[in-house]
Amino acid sequence: MAALEQGTWVIIADGEKALVMENITDAQDPNLVVVSVEEPDAGPAKPSDRAGRRADTGPNQKSAVEEDTWKTHARSLFVQDVANLLNRKGLKGAYRRLVLVASPHVLGLLRRRLHSEVLAKVVAEVDKTLTNHPLHKVERILTARLSKPA
C-alpha cells in the first residue's frame, strides 16, 4: 500500500508554520490540496515585559532572557497546537492515513504529543523542512522519498 494514496493527509510543519494538505489523487501522481495553513497566534514575539528581560523574585530585579530560549518555547507551543489539531481531527475520523514532514526536532515534538490512535495512522515520516516550497516541488520530493523501498 503506497503512503500517499488518495485521502492521505500530509502535514508539513516547522516551528512557525504548518500546512495541512490532502492528496486528492493517487500515490503515483499525487495532487496535494491545502486544507488549512496553521500559524501561531499573533501574540507578542517576546516576553511581555521589557524585551529580553523577565521579572526575578527579588524586589525590582530583572534577569536577561536569551532570545533563542524564548523562540524555542514559542515553537514548542506551536507544535503542541498542531498536534492538538491533528488529534482532534484524527479522533473524529477526518483522515485515515497521515504523513508527517518536518525537521527531526519538530518530528520528535509532534510524535510525543500525538494521541496513540493518531500515531497509528502515521504511514510515513520525512525529516525535511518543506514549509516554504511550492506544492509541485513538495509533491515531487514526497513521491521520490516515499517510493523508495524501506
How confident is the model over 58-84, as pLDDT tens digits?
Answer: 666 665 555 567 778 888 899 999 999
Supply the pLDDT for residue 54. 54
Q: Read off the pLDDT of residues 27-57 as tens digits, 9 standing for 90 and up.
A: 888 999 999 999 987 655 554 444 555 555 6
Angle formed by the axes of helices 67-91 and 104-113, to 10°? 50
What percentage of the chain exceeds 70 in pLDDT? 79
- Residue 145 reports pLDDT greater than 60: yes
- Show the cell assigned to 79: 507544535
DSSP assignment of 90-116: HHTTS-S-EEEEE-HHHHHHHHHHS-H
DSSP designation for 50: S
For 9-40+66-147, give the CATH class.
Answer: alpha beta
Q: Can you read off the three cell numbers belonging to residue 9?
A: 493527509
pTM of the model: 0.80
The three three-digit cell numbers of residue 54, written as one number: 523577565
- DSSP reduced 3-state for 53: strand
C-alpha cell at 60: 525590582
Question: What residue ranges do the domains of the chain occupy?
Answer: 9-40+66-147
Give the mean pLDDT of 12-41: 91
